[in-house]
Amino acid sequence: MNTEALSRQFAAELDRLPRSAEAAARRAAAFEAFSAAGFPTRRDEQWRYTDLKPISTAELDFAPPPPSTELVSRVAESLDQAGFDEATSRLVFIDGCYCDTLSRTTAAAGISLASLASCSEADLPVHAHAPFDGHPLATLNAAFARDGALIAAEDGARTTAPIELVFVAGGRSGLAAHPRIVIDLGQGAEVTLIQHLLDLEPGRGWFNAVTEIVQAPGSHLTLYRLQDHGTRQFHTALMRAELAEDAKLNCGYFDLGGRLVRNDFDVRLAGPGAEADLNGLFLASSGQHTDNHIRMDHIAPRTRSAESFRGIIGDRGHGVFNGKVVVHRDAQHIDARQSSDNLLLADNAEIDTKPELEIYADDVKCSHGATIGELDDDQLFYLRARGLADEEARNLLTFAFANTVLERVALPELRELVAARVAARLPNGATAGGTR
Least distance to another protein from the beta carbon of 371, Å? Answer: 5
Q: Based on CB atoms, which residue is closest to another protein, 237 or 349?
A: 349
Closest to 276 in 3D by CA, of 263, 261, 294, 291: 294
CB of 367 to another protein, least distance (A): 5
Whole-number Å distance between alpha carbons of 59 and 56? 8
* DSSP string computed for 260-308: EEEEEEEEEE-STT-EEEEEEEEEE-TT-EEEEEEEEEE-SSS-EEEEE
Taking the complex as a whole, the smallest distance from the CB of residue 347 to another protein amounts, in Å, to 6
Dihedral angle at the C-alpha atoms of 50, 51, 56, 59, nearest 10 degrees?
Answer: -100
Q: Which of residues 358-377 bind another protein (CB under 8 A)?
A: 358-374
Query: Of the two residues 167 and 309, which places its CB atom closer to another protein in the complex?
Result: 309
Binding mask 46-75 for another protein (x = CB under 8 A): ---x--------------------------
Of residues 326 through 355, those in contact with another protein by CB under 8 A are: 329-330, 332, 342, 344-355
Query: How many residues line the site for another protein (CB under 8 A)?
Result: 37
Q: Are 336 and 327 in contact (CB under 8 A)?
A: yes
Is the CB of 258 or the CB of 355 nearer to another protein? 355
Measured from the CB atom, the residue of 58 and 326 that comes closer to another protein is: 326
Q: How far is the CB of 28 from another protein (least distance, A)?
A: 32
357 lines the binding site for another protein (CB under 8 A): yes
The least distance separating another protein from the CB of residue 304, rounded to whole angstroms, comes to 15
Q: Answer yes or no whether residue 238 interacts with another protein by CB under 8 A.
A: no
Alpha carbons 209 and 197: distance in angstroms, whole number:
11
User: In the complex, what is the shortest distance from the CB of residue 373 to another protein, in angstroms, rounded to a whole number?
Assistant: 4
d(CA 407, CA 416): 10
Distance of alpha carbon 16 from alpha carbon 350, whole angstroms = 43
- CA distances for 143 relative to 5, 239, 355, angstroms: 15, 17, 31
CB nearer another protein, residue 73 or residue 367: 367
Instruction: Quote the DSSP letter at residue 87.
Output: T
The residues that touch another protein, with contacts defined as CB under 8 A, are 45, 49, 329-330, 332, 342, 344-374
